[in-house]
Amino acid sequence: MVNSQKYRALRFICSITIVVFMFWGCNPTRHIPADKYLLNTSRIQIDNKKINLQELESNIRQKANKRILGLRFHLWLYNISNIKKETGIHKFLRKTGEEPVIWDPVATAQSVNLLRRYLDRRGYYNAMIFDTIIFKKQKANVLYKIRTNAPYTIRNIKYAIEDTAIQRIVLPDTINSLFKRGQIYDQDILGTERIRIEYWLRDRGYYNFTRYFIYYDADTSLNRKQVDLVLNIQNNEIKQPNGQSIFAPHKIYKIKQVTIRTEPDKTLLTKDLSSELRQDTVNKFGIRFIYQNNNWVKPNIIQQSNFIAPDNIFRISDVENTKKHLSSLGVFRTVNTNQFTELPSNDSSQFNYLNAEIHLSPLDIQSYTWELEGTNSSGNFGGALSLIYEHRSLFGNAENLNLRLKGALESVSKSGIIYKAVEYGTEATVKIPKFLIPFNSMGFKKKYNPQTNITFAYNYKKSPDLTSTVANASFGYSWKGNRYLTHIVNPLDLSLVNIQSISDYLKGRIANTYLVNSYIDHVVSATSYSLVFNNQNLKKAGNYQYLRWNLESSGNLLTLYNKLFSPSKSDTSYYTLFKIRYSQFAKTDVDCRLYTVINNDNSLVYRFFAGVAYPYGNARSIPFEKQYFSGGANSVRGWPVRTLGPGSFRDTIYSQGDIKLEANIEYRFKLISVLEGALFTDVGNVWAIFKDSHRPGAEFLLDKFYKDLAVGSGLGLRLNFGFALLRFDLGAKVYNPMRRYNRWIFNNGGLTMNNLALSMAIGYPF
């Protein structure tokens, strides 16, 4: 058996080696004409670290073929095709692959000019650029050497503003200007400052003001690499009937009338039905609401997300906030807040006026969907089916009801015998776009976009070793602290766990250990808080960070109540709720992630997780459903789920713990079409917080925990369909802390099938 496993592992390694040699062995210049050169590299070398290298590289007109870990995978696909054949696999390979990039001296000269123009814009007018091309084996390596020299700086700044009203707004705000005296004369920053001033004025009533009213005069004739700068804001140009223009101060605009129009879903209408639409008009809050065959979202709910009000001056921030808050209700397919109509103006009037219209196209009020998914738990495969019903405005106040029914069936291998594990359950979640209590003011709603979340759930699970039910009810709030921060508070999260049966094998494993307290009927009455930071820009791919911090406690309020009103404990020396012992513990963890985009086809993701749970008072251990585990598709992928640890102890039942540390790094790259690849390394483990003689090595110790950190590496394939991502990850044990000797895999007979774990999942691991 061992020899068979080693043979399969050796065959796997040989296959990978052959593929690698195919990549390296392929001649990348096979389709390059004899008098031409393959562009091998195109690099920039610059002596100034203040210059953004990625921005510089965007000015290079000709880039070498894409690489994945140094290999020209897409060029290899193109080269293995027969370029004389226009059909079949050869056409597919060329379409999927990438033609060789032939070095073009004209493109190199254009790149030099673009680099110089870029440096000029950044204030480096005396920069020197040298292009060097090295030819070797029909390959061209292009190097752009840049010496920036000293930049031009801003000596003086003046403001020439014709409109005195605008002058009174702009001049006090110059403290927030993006450029200062002594700063490099950067034209990109000057352009960004124009945009900033435009927004600043449009947010103070100047509806028709644009950045094109702002221009600069720059005097660079000082011969000292210094610039005297004048920022000009001109008056509004008004065309006269005779074709001439006059210039007048800009007018401030006020909102005259606001109409919110809830449109029908046009995709559900026929031409005949559209003529039969019924319009209902409601006037409330000084705003006219027009409903077309759809009044299932009440005016007060729409108004709490609306910032555009009659008699207010026009503010572009009000327009943006209205769109953002209305979209967050989750009941509208499209939200259009940019419908403004100018009313006839009077030159003698202090203000001009606008009528505002907000167009809302609703989603279907009800929807029914189903989800079919594969499961892989500890190497046991199965499937799950979920039926989902959603109502987006249950009582006309945009309350979102999500009702889910789920059933799962899994095959479990135990001692060579296949058993069935069954799980089914239901969950009902209601999300209400306001705080029920205690903050219910309109101002609070508009500022923080609050939400109340209520959940009821029931789950039944039967496996060869354990049969249990969990009933849960939770009540909580979430709200936006700012653009990137979200706060989540659950004052009440009540779970009733009923252990219906435990196998004799599991009883024997946990007997005389503190884990026996984790597998008894218990109640968890928890209060939790979560802080989420996410600065991802969904409109633009780029680097971003994610952080989630959780803090949870259980049983404290119940214990306080019992000590005050029922000081005597039960015969078993602990307090109960519903005649069932309740858990008392504190738990906190943090999940940090850094997403780094290398280019359009390659990215790196780093993740760190740390958590600890501590039982006390009415509990001797953490409930099993609240403990940490490691291994599996979203953790250390060299181990199946719940098979790693705790510590260096090998637990054959449920490898769970009270402390968890984990770090991951994953390199992601695009291959062909919807196929993506990944290389990853995972490090981590779980530990027990208390010493247990029956589980030697499971305890967390500061002087040895690092020796218990498991290391796994591997590769993954992902099918990214846009709406869903199917993931396959093959992880290998590199360092196994549960082995007494030869923990490094390469010191233990090399790679075998026992050291591999295949996981299948939906979505990225993190």
Domain contains 65: yes
167 and 187 in a single domain? The answer is yes
Chosen domain end from 218, 233, 248: 248
| Most confident among 191-205, 262-276, 383-397, 564-578 (mean pLDDT) | 191-205
∠ CA 759-764-766, rounded to 5° = 105
196 and 178 in a single domain? The answer is yes
Chosen domain end from 327, 362, 397: 362
Mean pLDDT of 46-75: 89
Token reading at 129: 């650029």
168 and 209 in a single domain? The answer is yes
358 and 299 in a single domain? The answer is yes
User: How many Å apart are CA 324 and CA 447, to the nearest integer?
Assistant: 12
Tens-place pLDDT, residues 27-50: 787 788 888 999 999 999 999 988
DSSP reduced 3-state for 689: coil
136 and 171 in a single domain? The answer is no
Domain contains 75: yes
The DSSP secondary structure of 56-124, one letter per residue, reads HHTT-S--PPP-BTTB-HHHHHHHTS-TT--SHHHHHHHHHS----B--HHHHHHHHHHHHHHHHHTT-
In sequence order, the β-bridge partners of residue 676 are 670, 718
Domain contains 751: no
Q: How many domains does the chain have?
A: 3
Token reading at 567: 């000081």
43 and 139 in a single domain? The answer is yes
What pLDDT is recorded for position 24?
Answer: 43
54 and 77 in a single domain? The answer is yes
User: How many Å apart are CA 447 and CA 318, to the nearest integer?
Assistant: 11
Domain contains 133: yes
Domain contains 553: no
Token reading at 276: 């039969």
| Most confident among 345-349, 578-582, 750-754 (mean pLDDT) | 578-582
Mean pLDDT of 81-95: 81
* CATH number of the structural domain spanning residue 274: 3.10.20.310
Tens-place pLDDT, residues 282-329: 888 889 998 876 667 888 889 989 999 999 999 999 999 999 999 988
Tens-place pLDDT, residues 130-175: 999 999 989 999 999 999 999 999 999 999 999 999 999 999 999 9
∠ CA 509-510-515, rounded to 5° = 150
User: How many Å apart are CA 671 and CA 683, to the nearest integer?
Assistant: 26
Token reading at 600: 């359009």
Domain contains 522: no
Chosen domain end from 362, 394, 427: 362
232 and 268 in a single domain? The answer is no
β-pair type (466-480, 451-462): antiparallel
Say whether pLDDT at 270 is over 50: no
Token reading at 53: 């290298």
Domain contains 499: no
124 and 216 in a single domain? The answer is no
Q: Average pLDDT over the chain, rounded to whole?
A: 86
Tens-place pLDDT, residues 739-763: 888 888 876 666 777 788 888 888 8
β-pair type (226-233, 153-161): parallel
Domain contains 311: yes
Could you give the strand order of the β-sheet that contains 128-136, starting from the edge strand earlier in sequence?
A: 38-46, 139-147, 128-136
142 and 33 in a single domain? The answer is yes
161 and 125 in a single domain? The answer is no
Q: Report the sign of the C-alpha dihedral through residues 39, 41, 46, 50, in that order.
A: positive
222 and 311 in a single domain? The answer is no
Domain span at residue 51 reads 29-147
What pLDDT is recorded for position 21?
Answer: 43
Q: Tokens 């296959």 map to which residue? A: 15
What pLDDT is recorded for position 1?
Answer: 42
